[in-house]
């Protein structure tokens, strides 16, 4: 997924009211939209390099959107609204080997009255989870906060098997220099338990990392999930 406009580099100052971030540019401080509802644990250190996009739509209250944060030596994509577009690009360009042979890619698949999954690829359901948490070197984690919505999705994915679907959770890891992934059991024990239940029921879990730059974010390669013994 290529950015349609050049990203602007700045310095992170603070996040507040969840959806607002103050960013220092060369001669001014601007307020940008933060398109990430998670805790963004470990990302919000004052002075971190950030990259933002600008949108001149007169209907928008905030012209800028936070896209990438640099933590230590790694770029991290934080715009969760872009996660599905990155995956869709990966599906169409056959960057995800488990879906190389699908014929139909349907975004926003309505499973029941109160649940939509991100994609239906033939009979394969994909629920995408954007991953930005890295507390230990080389290991990405999900979630970064308690996610009752995530647990609900897992239960519905289990139910989908009975209806003839093949369900997948794709943890899209927008973090450079990552080798492994694990569920953050200490952050949300219920999600961890539901993950184990879903895995035992036949839900497939995949983790793909991304190559990230201020010009493009795209799926790179699959990495291993570390399960606790």
pLDDT digits (tens, 9 = 90+) for 106-141: 999 999 888 899 999 999 999 999 999 999 889 999
pLDDT of 20 strictly over 70 = yes
- Contacts for 216 with CB less than 8 Å, ≥ 6 apart: 1, 2, 3
Closest of 29, 28, 32 to residue 7, by C-alpha: 32
Rounded CA separation 114/111 (Å): 8
The number of distinct structural domains making up the chain is: 2
What share of residues in the chain are helix, strand, coil (percent, to 5)? 20, 45, 35
Q: Are residues 156 and 198 in the same domain?
A: yes
Q: Determine what percent of the chain is predicted with pLDDT higher than 70.
A: 99
Q: Is 193 helix (H, G, I), strand (E, B) or coil?
A: helix
pLDDT of 229 strictly over 80 = no
Q: Is 213 helix (H, G, I), strand (E, B) or coil?
A: coil
Rounded CA separation 151/73 (Å): 32
Query: Residue 214: its pLDDT value, please?
Result: 93
Q: What residue numbers bound the domain in which 58 lies? A: 8-72
Q: Are residues 94 and 175 in the same domain?
A: yes
Sole residue written with tokens 């002075």: 47
pLDDT tens digits for range 66-111: 999 999 999 999 999 999 999 999 999 999 999 999 999 999 999 9
| End residue of a domain, out of 19, 37, 72 | 72
Residue bearing the bigger pLDDT, 23 or 27 = 23
Rounded CA separation 60/114 (Å): 29
CB 195 within 8 A of CB 66: no
CB 80 within 8 A of CB 172: no
| pTM of the predicted protein model | 0.94
Query: Residue 45: its pLDDT value, please?
Result: 96
Rounded mean pLDDT, 49-74: 93
Q: Are residues 193 and 220 in the same domain?
A: yes
| End residue of a domain, out of 46, 72, 98 | 72
């Amino acid at each position: 997924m290529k950015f349609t406009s050049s990203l602007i580099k700045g310095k992170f100052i603070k996040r507040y009211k969840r959806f607002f971030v103050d960013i220092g540019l060369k001669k001014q401080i601007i307020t940008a939209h933060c398109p990430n509802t998670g805790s963004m644990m470990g990302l919000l250190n004052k002075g971190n390099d950030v990259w933002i996009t600008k949108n001149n739509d007169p209907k928008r209250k905030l012209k800028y959107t936070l896209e990438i944060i640099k933590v230590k030596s790694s770029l991290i994509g934080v715009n969760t609204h872009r996660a599905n577009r990155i995956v869709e690009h990966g599906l169409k360009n056959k960057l995800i080997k488990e879906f190389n042979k699908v014929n139909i890619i349907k975004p926003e698949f309505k499973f029941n009255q109160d649940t939509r999954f991100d994609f239906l690829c033939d009979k394969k359901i994909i629920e995408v989870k954007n991953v930005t948490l890295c507390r230990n070197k080389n290991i990405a984690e999900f979630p970064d906060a308690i996610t009752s919505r995530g647990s609900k999705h897992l239960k519905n994915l289990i139910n989908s098997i009975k209806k003839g679907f093949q369900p997948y959770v794709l943890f899209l890891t927008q973090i450079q220099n990552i080798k492994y992934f694990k569920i953050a059991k200490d952050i949300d024990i219920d999600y961890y338990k539901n993950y184990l239940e879903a895995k035992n029921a036949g839900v497939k879990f995949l983790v793909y990392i991304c190559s990230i730059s201020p010009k493009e974010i795209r799926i790179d390669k699959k990495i291993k999930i570390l399960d606790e013994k």
